[in-house]
Each structure stands twice: as C-alpha cells, then as structure tokens.
Amino acid sequence: MNTRRPLAAVAAILVAATALASCADGGGRGAPEADNVAATPTVSATVAAPAAPKYIDVTGQGRELPRDSVDRAQFSATPQPGAKVLRWNSAGVGDRCTLGPAVTVGSRSAFLTAGHCAGAGVTQFAQGDAAGKVLIPLGPAVQAVNEDGVPGADGILDDRALIFTSTPPTPQIAGTWTVAGSLTVKETQRLPHGTPICVDGATSGVRCGGLISAERGRVEFVGKPGTAAPSKGDSGAPVFVVDDSGRATVIGLVTSEARDGSTTNATFIEPALLSLGAELVTAS
C-alpha cells in the first residue's frame, strides 16, 4: 500500500536532517568536543625593585686617630685615610692636608689626596708622634692636577694627586666602615637633597652634612659653621656616604670650604680614578 506523508511531516524530517548535518564537518566527522579542563591562569610574578640605600649621619663616630699637640690634627705613622700629611715648600713653609682613600695603580699601593696639596714635587711626610718631631717620608704627590676651584672644559672640577706608599692599604674609613665601592658622577647627582655626606678630615675628624648640590661640577654639602677657618688641613680627605649596614661608599675628595665654615666642597671620585688609572681598595 502506497502511503503518503503529510507535507508538515516531510518538512519536519528535512529540518531534523539539516540539524544532524550541521553536527558533522565537511569530511563527515563529528566536531571535536570542547576540553572540559579549565585553562591554567597565567601567573605574573612581580619582582620588587631593590630598595634605595638609606644613608645615615655618623658624625663623631668611628675610630679617631691620635691627635697631636701641634695643631690638634689626627696623625699616624702608618699612612691611612683621615691622617695628616705634611709638606714644606722651597721657602721652608710647611702645610698640612689629609690622606684620602686607599687605591692601587697596577701592583702599587697609594693614597689619593687633593692636587693643591702636592706642591712642586716636594716630599710628603706622615707624622709619627704627638709633638711633630718624628716625620716619615712618603715621597712626592704625583700626577697632580689643581683646577683651583674652576671646573675644566668637561664641567667637572679636578683637584687630585697620588701618594705612593709601601703600606698595604686596608679597605676601611675611620677604622670602622668597610669601603664597598664608589659612586659615579651621575649616581652622586641623583642623591636626594639633604643626604648626609661625610668626611674624615685630619682636622675635623668624622663629620657629616646634608647634601646641597652636586650639579655645578662639584659636591657641595653643609660644613661646620660657626668657627673661622674651621677645618684647615682637611683638603684631600675622603668624602663618603654610610649606609645603614655600616658600609662606606666613596664619592669624592675635599677640595675647599667656605670661609665661615658653612659649606664644604668636594671633587667627584670617578674622574679622579679614571684619569689616574687607579682602582679604589674595597672589601670585595
């Protein structure tokens, strides 16, 4: 018997067939099932930037060297940073400065000091007793440059010299703070205003003053106001910062002070080391 289906039934069959066809790909294969495993989220690790060093004021701290009865300056028969260094000119007039940081030049040991302390190739002396009668010759200060307070063509003030010595250098300032390294000119210029800038001078000992500026070819910081010519003899002394872990980082050498003692000026250590071919003696 020939059975005819209603048009509505035929249409329903066609719709169903179309739906089934849509579940197959062009090759007649079923579409892959979705993966039911949840996607692993991407974890972004945040690495904190290292904290900037915290520099502290260490005025009056550290191990002070003995002071003489001549001008109350720190002295030592063994050359070391912060100790008095003496010279006499052709007229027999003496002058004193301070030994700066310990360095090496090739295999030789030396100390930095200010160029204006060098004289014309005259011998420099360490002082061995409080009365100033025992003097130990160190040799002349060499490779001296003194721009006399006026920065050169590069805009950076230069006032440095080397005093070679047979004394094995130690990486410490004031017998207390281990020298960790030095700052470049740009790193020094990035120090915040008011950062404690410290010096260990033969006359003044260890004192610190807030940074005023490092943008005029030199480092200018608060001095020791209130006394006339407060720190004569500090020229050449190491200028440094001390972090809260007790490490010293050298930034320069004392070059001058205001007459009223209100400010101290220092040269940058980086160009001095580069021009002298010297390396700072550090604990590392």
> pLDDT of 140-198, one tens digit each?
999 999 988 888 888 899 999 999 999 888 899 999 999 999 999 999 999 999 999 99
Characterize the bridge pairing of strands 55-56 and 84-88.
unpaired
Rg (CA), the chain: 36
Structure tokens at 102: 């310990």
Q: What is the DSSP letter of 24?
A: B
Structure tokens at 3: 């059975």
Q: Of 127 and 9, which is predicted with more confidence?
A: 127
Characterize the bridge pairing of strands 102-105 and 279-280.
antiparallel
Question: What is the pTM for the complete model shown?
Answer: 0.81
Stated length of the chain: 284
- Neighbour tally for 29: CB within 10 Å: 8
Output the DSSP codes for 34-59: PP-SPPPPPP-PPPPPPPPP-EE--T
State residue 187's pLDDT score.
98
**Best CATH choice for the domain 57-280 from the list 2.60.40.10, 1.10.286.10, 3.40.50.11540, 2.40.10.10:** 2.40.10.10
The residue extents of the domains of the chain are 57-280
> pLDDT of 59-87, one tens digit each?
999 999 999 999 999 999 999 999 999 99
